[in-house]
Amino acid sequence: MQAIDRQTRRSMRCGYEAPPYPPGLAWCHPGVKAPPGFPSTCVGYTIRLPQVMEIARARRHWEHGQLETFAGGPVDEAPLLLIEVFDAAVHELETWLMTPPEKRT
Amino acid sequence: MIGTPSLLKPYDEYYSGDPAFAQAPPLASREQLAEHEHRVKVARETGDWSPLAVEGVQPTKFTMKPLRGQQYRRIVDDLLASRIGRGEANSLAFRCAVLEIVNFGAFEMKFVETEKWGKIASVDVSNAIDAIDLRIVTELGEEALRRAQDISPKSSRD
């Protein structure tokens, strides 16, 4: 990250750089149908956030019915919703990958 | 053991005005204040407070647990119905979330069992912290509420 100059990082909406950012959005994978205004922050920053990594890990356990074991107790609805959102995004990307390149939208 | 920010498990939290962390310069401009606030936000999101650390000073560490949905909704309901004010809402959120306080002198955590909120920190705990600085409970309580309500930090906050 430090090898990239500050102006470029700002245009990528690096989370370490303070807003206001230049107009536009952060990069988004072409296989994801992002809602308006999303993503607001560089994915490189976002995927390294502990809470994002935690939800990605939690999904692995959720898939096998072991979420409560992973969490050490009952899980509230807010993290469950995030796991479902994450799971939907993963399936969206998998569908994109399985789609022949000429048919990808 | 460092407790990184978590939605499922206890995590470590700090007060941004702790003398162990760099502060915005006196008479800071609007830009400098915004820059400092952003550095605090990044520290809170990443759990890495080292860029703000003042050498040789240990911060007070608050181990917190995520608010349960039921606690959050009850606080919001009480707030909207004007049964409590914003200050008390923050204090309640703090008491519901805090589990342990480290490096706060000869201080002992006390918990009470309540019908409405479950087992939460005693009001003596928030009073002891208020005696140092009222902003500590306000900031940490606000943060506990924000974590409970803002389930998508990178899409709605910025």
Q: How confident is the model at residue B143 (pLDDT cuts 50, 70, 90)?
A: very high
Does the distance separating the beta carbons of B5 and A50 come in below 8 Å? yes
B121, B110 Cβ separation under 8 angstroms: yes
Give B128 to chain A, closest Cα distance, Å.
30
On average, the pLDDT of chain B sits at 91
Closest CA to B110 of B118, B101, B99, B121: B121
Q: Are residue A104 and residue A53 in the same domain, yes or no? A: yes
Q: Does this model's pTM top 0.90? A: no
Cβ atoms of residues A15 and B42 within 8 Å: yes
Q: Let me know whether A25 and A63 are in one domain.
A: no
**Do A40 and A53 have their domain in common?**
no
d(CA A63, CA A74): 16
Q: How far apart are the C-alpha atoms of A101 and B150, rounded to whole Å?
A: 36
> What is the predicted pLDDT for the residue at A2?
64
Q: What is the pLDDT of residue A96?
A: 94
**Do A43 and A66 belong to one domain?**
no
String of DSSP letters for A27-89 = ---TT--PPTT---S-HHHHTTSHHHHHHHHHHHHHHTT-HHHHHTS---HHHHHHHHHHHHH
Instruction: Tell me the ipTM for this assembly.
Output: 0.85
User: A104 with A96: CB under 8 angstroms?
Assistant: yes
When pLDDT is cut at 50, 70 and 90, the band that residue A36 belongs to is confident
Q: Are residues A15 and A60 in the same domain?
A: no
Place of tokens 């498990």: B9
What pLDDT is attached to residue B107? 83
Band the pLDDT of B156: cuts 50, 70, 90: very low
Domain co-membership, A71 together with A57: yes
Say yes or no for a CB contact (<8 Å) between A50 and B42: no
Judge if A57 and A41 occupy the same domain.
no
Do A36 and A74 lie in one domain? The reply is no
Tell me: do A67 and A26 sit in the same domain. no
Q: Give B41→chain A minimum CA distance, Å.
A: 9
pLDDT of residue B90: 96
Range of the domain at A76: 49-105
Residue with tokens 């990044």: B42
Kindly report the number of other CB atoms within 10 A of residue B17's CB atom: 12
DSSP element (H, E) containing B113: strand B111-114
Look at chain A and report how many structural domains it folds into: 2
Name the average pLDDT for chain A. Answer: 90
Task: For residue A95, give how far its alpha carbon lies from the nearest alpha carbon of chain B (Å).
Answer: 23
Give the C-alpha separation, B6 to B20, whole Å: 23
> Where is mean pLDDT largest: A77-81, B39-43, B150-154?
B39-43
Q: How confident is the model at residue A84 (pLDDT cuts 50, 70, 90)?
A: very high
Examine the domain organization and report whether A39 and A66 are in the same domain.
no
Crossing angle, helix B69-80 and helix B86-97, to 10 degrees?
170
The closest CB to that of A19, out of B69, B151, B158, belongs to B158
